[in-house]
Structure 1
Amino acid sequence: MRALVYHGPKDVSVDEVPDARIEQPTDAVVRITTTNICGSDLHMYEGRTDVETGKILGHENMGEVLEVGSGVVKVRVGDMVVLPFNIACGFCKNCNAGLTGFCLTVNPGSAGGAYGYADMGPYAGGQAEYLRVPFADFNALVLPGDAEEKQRDYTMLSDILPTGYHGTELAQVRTGDSVVVYGAGPVGLMAALSAQIRGAAEVFVIDHQPDRLRLAERVGAIPIDDSNGDAVQQVLDATGGQGADKGVEAVGYQAHDHTGEERPGITINSLIQAVRPTGRIGVVGVFVPQDPSAADELAKQGEFVMDFGTFFFKGQSIGTGQANVKQYNRGLRNLIHRDRIHPGIIVSHELSLDEAAEGYRRFDAREDGWTKVLLHP
């Protein structure tokens, strides 16, 4: 089969690799119809992780079930399914508690596994013609009959829509809240959409990329351009000096200010300033324990200076961690099916697998208009 393979920093190509196959009775093999380039794929693409060469990338996957193992009882050949980026067993302590992003079975010595990602187990990614899905009955979400026509929407259930929703869950967004989201990338846009699903009265989204800010407005948020002045002050001015009730961080450790300087602590420290006293912040942008290629010594150790004094004095609280996709994907699927939400509006480009390397290059370069890229193997 053909697949997008990582060979080193900014070096990926579509290669011939062994076919995905049934390895355990609980496996399925899925023919991939849509797989997305995620912003977190760019951490690996840029050489900012320890992902091994030869890895097939891609953790945002959907497609048609081609084959099932003898132990699969629910998922059937021909089903259209979307796959959480988390690979989970369904029976460990964390899975039983709904914490499927931190499965204790699938990545021994760590908590959590994923397709095609650094430090998340030996699993191949889905930027390929076919994908092996472990524990298929638990992990594969079967889609309704409109799956083909709504692929742009349903494919977002693999990661960014549940991750954005998880940010609002961590922040405990409630009806009538004001919410500030830092980052208008795909996850930030889905967090803004999710805040409105949960009844937020107003949602602000901070960024400095014009194309992303336009999309923030399209999803119903108020764009805050930090290149036009201090973003915190803009949020304070818009909320009568009080600050937003809740905040969501959707950028992660490679955050940059509007001048282009990398500052990994700018998002969380800005949210501490922009969220009101006793407010809550949810962090779903990726942060890592080590980043050897970072610009400063603290960041190389996965650390940054946090304004903890202000955070404590304001009585704020914070929740962090990757999304437990299965907590949210079924309900969000139903909203898509009933035309209540249309997350696919952020898609800018749909490419063939042969065009994947070019898609990575242009998405990584933040070229204008390259906001969300789908691949169709």
Structure 2
Amino acid sequence: MKAVVYRGPFEVSVENVPDARVEQPNDAVVRITTSNICGSDLHMYEGRTTVEEGTVLGHENMGIVEEVGPGVTRIKPGDRVSVPFNIACGTCRNCVAGWTAFCLRTNPTEGVDGAAYGYANMGPYAGGQAEYLRVPYADFNLLELPPGEEHENDFTMLSDIFPTGWHGTELAGMSAGDRVAVFGAGPVGLLAAHSALIRGASEVYVVDKEPDRLELAASIGATAVDFSEADPVEQILDATDGHGADCGVEAVGYQAHDPSGQEHPELVLDNLVKCMRTTGGIGVIGVYMPSDPGAADEGAKEGRIGFDYGTFFTKGQRMGTGQCPVVRYNRGLRDLIISGTAKPSFLVSHELGLDQAPDGYAHFDRRDHGWTKVLLRPSLAQAA
């Protein structure tokens, strides 16, 4: 089968790799209809992780079940499904408690709880930027979708970024009526803003500097804050009569940059602490790494991010972190899409064939104007 394979910093290629197949009784094989390029894939693409050369990438996947193992009883061939990026057993202590992002059984990597498809340190699982994908523990992990092709671009967001955006508002402790500050208008940040608005935020401020992304934020009813024009903290404080936001979402991660392009991994955390009121909450869904040899300072190379903890403590603020347990949210978010309440596909900019993935990665990584969310369709590659 064809798949997108990591070959080194800034290099991916589309290659023939062994077909995905049933390896365990509880496996399913899914024929991929849509797989997305995620912003977190770019950390690997840029060589800022320990991902191994030859890894098949892609953790945002959906498709049609092609085959199931003899131990699969709920899911059947022909089902249209969303594949959560978490690979979870469903029965360990963390899974039973609803923390499927930290499954204790699926990742043999020492010191790491939780597994995912096609991602550094997240286990030996091939990704879904391919024609087919093996899904372990299929009965637990797969979310059934209505048959057909309706809502394809919306449903493809259920594997990661829509639940992750929603999770950011949960980690922040958001309540209806809150003023919410979202730093980062990439796909996850935009869907955190979308989630906050669905949940009844009175105002959502989205901070970025890319005009196309800020335009998308404004298009869903958020207030765009351009940090290249003025200090975002001052802009948010001015907009809230000096009170600050009630809570905030960090959707940037460890490669945060200032307007000049200099990297400051603590920048967004500092800004959130400053622009939030006392006792406000911060949800951190941007990726941070325990080690980053390419970091801007020595501490950050060891995963030590020196943000303004003193002010954070003095203001009595709180912080929630970590990858999203997708299964906790995806069923409800699916139904919000079906009802018309949610439309996460507003951020889709490009739908490409699998063979066009290297070009899609390059444009998305450069933040080229108009490249806000890239979907990969194996069927388009086959048609070409």
- TM over 0.5: same fold? yes
Q: Give 2:142's aligned amino acid.
A: A
Decide which moves more: 292-301 or 155-164. Answer: 292-301
Hey, what's the Cα distance between the residues in 2 that align with 1:155 and 1:219? 19
Q: Give 1:140's aligned amino acid.
A: L
SS of the residue corresponding to residue 115 of structure 1 reads coil
Instruction: Report the equivalent of 2:170.
Output: 169
Instruction: Report the equivalent of 1:158.
Output: 159
Instruction: Report the equivalent of 2:367.
Output: 366
Runs of 4+ in 1 over 4 A off after TM superposition: none
Question: How far did 1:40 drift?
Answer: 0.3
Aligned counterpart in structure 2 of residue 115 of structure 1, from 114, 117, 138? 117
Instruction: Report the equivalent of 1:50.
Output: 50
Instruction: Report the equivalent of 2:39.
Output: 39
Instruction: Report the equivalent of 1:328.
Output: 329
Instruction: Report the equivalent of 2:317.
Output: 316
Instruction: Report the equivalent of 1:230.
Output: 231
Instruction: Report the equivalent of 1:376.
Output: 377
Instruction: Report the equivalent of 2:381.
Output: none
Hey, what's the Cα distance between the residues in 2 that align with 1:308 and 1:8? 36
Instruction: Report the equivalent of 1:75.
Output: 75
Q: Deviations over 1:3-50 (max 9, x none)?
A: 000011011100000000000000000000000000000000000000
| Aligned ranges 1:118-129 → 2 under 5 Å | 118-129=120-131
Hey, what's the Cα distance between the residues in 2 that align with 1:263 and 1:160? 24
Q: Give 2:140's aligned amino acid.
A: F
Question: How far did 1:220 drift?
Answer: 1.6
Q: Give 2:34's aligned amino acid.
A: T
Hey, what's the Cα distance between the residues in 1 that align with 2:220 and 2:123? 35
SS of the residue corresponding to residue 90 of structure 2 reads coil
Hey, what's the Cα distance between the residues in 1 that align with 2:36 and 2:202? 31
Q: Give 1:328's aligned amino acid.
A: Y
- Please give the root-mean-square deviation of Cα atoms over the aligned residues, in Å: 0.7
Residue 288 (str. 1) matches residue 251 (str. 2) = no
Hey, what's the Cα distance between the residues in 1 that align with 2:255 and 2:241? 31
SS of the residue corresponding to residue 262 of structure 1 reads coil
Instruction: Report the equivalent of 2:97.
Output: 97
Instruction: Report the equivalent of 2:346.
Output: 345
Instruction: Report the equivalent of 1:5.
Output: 5
Question: How far did 1:294 drift?
Answer: 1.3
Instruction: Report the equivalent of 1:133.
Output: 135
Question: How far did 1:347 drift?
Answer: 0.2
Structure 2: gaps of 5 or more residues = 379-384
Question: How far did 1:359 drift?
Answer: 0.3
Question: How far did 1:304 drift?
Answer: 2.1
Question: How far did 1:199 drift?
Answer: 1.1
Instruction: Report the equivalent of 1:87.
Output: 87
SS of the residue corresponding to residue 204 of structure 1 reads strand
Instruction: Report the equivalent of 1:272.
Output: 273
Q: Give 2:9's aligned amino acid.
A: P
Hey, what's the Cα distance between the residues in 2 that align with 1:358 and 1:273? 39
**How many residue pairs get matched?**
376
Structure 1: gaps of 5 or more residues = none
Hey, what's the Cα distance between the residues in 2 that align with 1:91 and 1:219? 39
Taking only the aligned residue pairs, the percentage that are identical comes to 64
Hey, what's the Cα distance between the residues in 2 that align with 1:154 and 1:219? 18
TM-score (norm 2): 0.97
Hey, what's the Cα distance between the residues in 1 that align with 2:377 and 2:257? 31
Question: How far did 1:295 drift?
Answer: 2.0
